[in-house]
Structure 1
């Protein structure tokens, strides 16, 4: 009982620190000492800790690589081009703009992960809404909802997916084909609810605005397309997606370095040295090593919790059959745990007991990816989204956020679980 209370208190303390981030300290400032403490106290034996770090290593490596890839895509103008396309296709209509933002946010989340949607796309959506005279609220709320719920499609779309795939052994293509229908279903439900919930904001008259044409970043888009294809093609070869993401980042980064290297002979090597150092540092910052350390440390702390009575309680509540009631129960448990403990700890706790049953693993992901739209603490991406809105002087209203989540989460979970159950039956997966 004492070990349970200590480990749960440590986990809650780490998560509370991640939410508050006092003095703008990174999440790792609390998580790393907590991980050291559970190892030093014997709550997690050193061999078990090393094993956990080795399991998390490829996943965290992918996270760093995809963050750098998204950063380089942004510097190449991919997101500016997306914003210009949204403004053009919306014709100044807030309703059409919402549909376009849904499509772009879903695609960005699926290919470049939810962090790209929050950090890079949301500011573009603010600017695009202002450019067409639309109220930004429905469109920026769509960014955070789709950053969570639209991350169901691919293993690379969310860190939770990578953790689940690593534990269960589900292949890239198998994962994608089973999650395609739930992904489409939850996006459709979210869109319909958004149209109703934000009807007043979307009712403003259309204001078509002439927009300066933005040149398509063809090279960057080609690299991103090739990277996505590489994710699928690498599975039969046993190549981890982290290497594919790294290759994409190296190609984009290499081209950028060549363009900025000055003359072919390199005569400006000395004068450009500070610029090169700044660019290298920007890539290091984009990889977010502090957050990567947080994920490693959080894994150790969650492992400590899992080895106590709390972990045993969660195991007893976990369903054992991937029938429709079992899938519903698993998704609901995962959503509840995500909103109590955050979706990363929920994934780390729930996936190992059901790793042998692919259907239940995918139901966990429905819960931890859709469920966080209910509260701010459900995912770190939502917390980061709040920071982006504060920076744009559009602080979200807590009551409104909760009401929207109360509508979208139960409905999204219901249709997604039904779609997953159907897909499991069609493809003969249990």
Structure 2
């Protein structure tokens, strides 16, 4: 339990650091520049949604899913994408977070149990990520097919600020080199925050508010409570439900049970609870767990913290919870089965 709680504290520290890094980058105009670049290469309004979805997926991979819902959602709404942009932001924040160990805190908790390096993790999860991203963009495009087309972009496109782009690249290189994620992220956050404050793009008070330390404390406490439950007969009963083995049925079963658990207690504590049992089946079992807790987080509002953060970042103005849940119930279980199936097929090549 102590190891799990210590790991949780580290990954929450990583979240706080990446949130500050993302906020400083946003205040210096990085997300506005990315949004403007998407608009420029997608003059056809029909293609703008696809480009926005790819931007949401890329932001999730590089800066974590929380940066996507908090910082990119307002940019997509400002670009006139409305409900389509809002749904792309939140759904791809979850489904596109399977690619790198840093893309989701659940990945950071689980990557050590796989024994994979940063790049090996990405190699195994790449087909799952591609299928999830393509499927989510297609689903949201169909769901919003009767929405009015966004207006063509106007005005000059902001230039990409060099310092934020350079810091983000440096952080990625440090993480790929195998350094501790929370240390690399903290170094990047301090550097980026100091620069943003120095040029008066933001203030220390704004960055401290963006860190959302009370939420970080809640996540750690809730994770601690779950680790206590994991040591009880109730915890044993839940983990005993996970199938053993790496057959197609076993991996799909692990993913679906993980999805349900994540939508009952949230995906971060669900990972803590189910990880030992999934790890007993091998690294592919852990990967199936991540498909369930990441892609499956789109099922309900409580599936991930990103869903709740998205609501406060503009989601409530465009999408009601009833619609969010209706879309989630219709599509998310199928996407989880699809992701686990792709993982099973790819495992014969990649592992």
TM-score by length of 2: 0.93
Q: Is 1:192 the equivalent of 2:111?
A: no
Give the secondary structure class of the aligned counterpart of 1:312.
helix
Q: 1:83 to 1:219 in 2, by over 3 A?
A: same
Match of 1:148 among 84, 87, 94: 94
5 Å-filtered alignment, 1:318-357, equals 318-356=242-280, 357=282
Query: What RMSD in Å do the two structures reach over aligned CA positions?
Result: 2.1
Task: Classify 1:314/1:208 alpha carbon distance in 2 versus 1 (closer, same or farther; 3 Å).
Answer: same
The structure-2 alpha-carbon separation of the partners of 1:316 and 1:224, relative to structure 1 and needing over 3 Å to count, comes to same
Structure (1 or 2) with the larger CA radius of gyration:
1
1:218 partnered with 2:162: yes
Question: Are 2:305 and 1:361 equivalent residues in the alignment?
Answer: no
TM-superposed CA distance for 1:52, in Å, is 4.1
Query: Deviation at 1:51?
Result: 4.5
C-alpha deviation, 1:283, in angstroms? 2.7
Superposition map of 1:194-343 within 5 A: 194-201=140-147, 204=148, 207-233=151-177, 235=178, 239-259=179-199, 279-343=203-267
CA contact (8 A) 2:229 2:235 kept: yes
How far apart in 1 are the matches of 2:114 and 2:53? 30
**Whole-Å separation in 2 of the counterparts to 1:178 and 1:138:** 30
TM superposition shift of 1:351: 0.6
Number of the residue aligned with 1:40: none
Q: Which runs of 5+ in 2 are unaligned?
A: none
Matches of 1:377 and 1:318, distance apart in 2: 21
Equivalent in the alignment of 2:9: 57
Is 1:108–2:52 an aligned residue pair? no
Distance 1:214 1:169 in 2: 42
Aligned-partner Cα distance in 1 for 2:324–2:12: 30
Q: How does 1:70-85 map to 2 (within 5 A)?
A: 70-85=22-37
Distance, in Å, in 2 between the alignment partners of 1:115 and 1:144 is 9
Which residue pairs with 1:400 in the alignment?
323
**1:4-153 → structure 2 map (5 Å cutoff):** 48=1, 50-91=2-43, 93=45, 95-129=46-80, 136-153=82-99
Q: Which runs of 5+ in 1 are unaligned?
A: 1-47, 261-274
1:166 CA displacement: 4.1
1:105–1:143 CA contact under 8 A, matched in 2: yes
By how many angstroms is 1:337 displaced?
1.0
Deviation of the 1:345 alpha carbon: 2.0
Scaled by the length of structure 1, what TM-score is found?
A: 0.76
Q: Comparing 349-358 with 165-174, which one deviates more in the overlay?
A: 165-174
Counterpart-to-counterpart distance in 2, 1:398 and 1:56 = 29
Inter-partner Cα distance in structure 1 for 2:197 and 2:313 = 29
Q: Which shifted more, 358-367 or 292-301?
A: 292-301
Measured after TM superposition, the shift of residue 149 of structure 1 is: 0.5
Instruction: Say if 1:366 and 1:413, in contact at 8 Å, map to a contact too.
Output: yes
Task: Decide whether the 8 Å contact of 1:64 with 1:287 is kept in 2.
Answer: yes
**Deviation of 1:167 (Å):** 4.4
Q: State how many pairs are aligned.
A: 350
CA distance in 2, matches of 1:331, 1:52: 21
Q: Is the 8 A contact 1:189 1:408 kept in 2?
A: no
Following superposition, the deviation at residue 213 of structure 1 comes to 2.7
